[in-house]
Structure 1
Amino acid sequence: MFASNPSKRRQMILLVIITFNIISTWLHYTDNALFLSQYPGPEWFTSVGVISAVVVMTPVGLLGYWFYSKGIFWLAYLLLGLYSITSVSSPGHYFFPMVTPISWKMHSLIWLDGIMGVLLIGFLLWSSVVLKEWRSTSVGN
């Protein structure tokens, strides 16, 4: 189906990556907000702030995907790069002293989110540096 259209295949790959990224981020951020006192982090973090971040950043990621699917690559790269910060920053918890030992669930959510962010950044680098899709004259839609 997508074999004859590499552009559509790459859009599907990005859609899968962004979908898993959104799921992992929502799982981690929701857990973080619910159990904020158990997660290591700066004292100024609040549950409302954590949820607000994911509510604001999710549309940024979706908009980035939309721009990518329309062949507007530089704007897509910018927005998806910004969105990836929500995930790749998750292991930042380990830079703060642990108040209580964090659970296997919390470790799993932190690392799942971080790995999904790295996967998204990997896709962006593949698209922009290796494939140089931004040079494409054809729109991916």
Structure 2
Amino acid sequence: MTNLFSLRQKILLAIITLNLISTWLHYTDNALFLSRYPGPEWFTSVGVISVVIVMTPVGLLGYWLYTKGMFWLAYLSLGLYSITSISSPGHYLFPMLAPMSLKMHCLIWLDGVTGLLLIGFLLWSGVVLKEWRSTSNCHLNL
């Protein structure tokens, strides 16, 4: 049972790592080329970078909570963190003032897909496996 939990931790770590990379790439590009990304007028480069700086520790905290078997708090933290990724395709809800480059489209969709992977993991853990019911996984050595 512990080996399976360890495997799931590694899977989640891989997903979080991909998420962090894609989010930092997209948000950094967004901040540098803000005028070329469609979005609300009140978006600023500082605001975009601030979001990723604030949300990164939330995702890392979610992973740490998961490894400690604190599933509901982990699900909450990771669910909140996933918003940074799954919201990226929201750019397409705003009119494009200038055509976006292939790089911009790829970064938006990479971020969106990695966010869906994270949500998929949360659903797999919480709904399919129901890990939150298991007490053998809890490692509450804080």
Indicate the TM-score class for this superposition, using the shorter chain for normalisation. over 0.9
Instruction: Find the aligned partners of 1:15 and 1:103 in 2 and give their Cα distance.
Output: 30
Match of 1:8 in 2: 6
Asked if 2 retains the 8 angstrom alpha-carbon contact of 1:7 and 1:140, the reply is: no
Q: How many residues align?
A: 139
The gaps in structure 1 that reach 5 residues or longer are: none
Q: Which ranges of 4 or more aligned residues in structure 1 deviate by more than 3 Å?
A: none
- Say which of 68, 73, 77 aligns to 1:70: 68
2:2 touches 2:137 (CA, 8 Å); kept in 1? no
Q: Are residue 80 (structure 1) and residue 58 (structure 2) matched? A: no
Q: 2:21 aligns with which of 23, 27, 39?
A: 23
Which of 87, 102, 114 is the equivalent residue of 1:89? 87
Could you list the runs of 5+ residues in structure 2 that have no partner in the other structure? none
Deviation string 1:42-72 (CA, Å, 9 cap, x unpaired) is 0000000000000000000000000000000
Q: Which residue of 2 aligns with 1:52?
A: 50
The Cα offsets for residues 12-44 of structure 1, whole Å up to 9 and x where unpaired, read as 000000000000000000000000000000000
Give the whole-Å Cα distance in 2 for the aligned partners of 1:54 and 1:36. Answer: 15
TM-score (norm 1): 0.96
Identity %: 78
Q: Which residue of 1 aligns with 2:40?
A: 42
Per-residue deviation, residues 105-139 of structure 1 (Å, max 9, x unmatched): 00000000000000000000000000000001123
Superposition RMSD in Å: 1.2
Q: What amino acid is aligned across from residue 34 of structure 1 in structure 2?
A: L
Cα distance between partner residues in 2 of 1:34 and 1:140: 43
1:140 Cα deviation after fit = 5.0
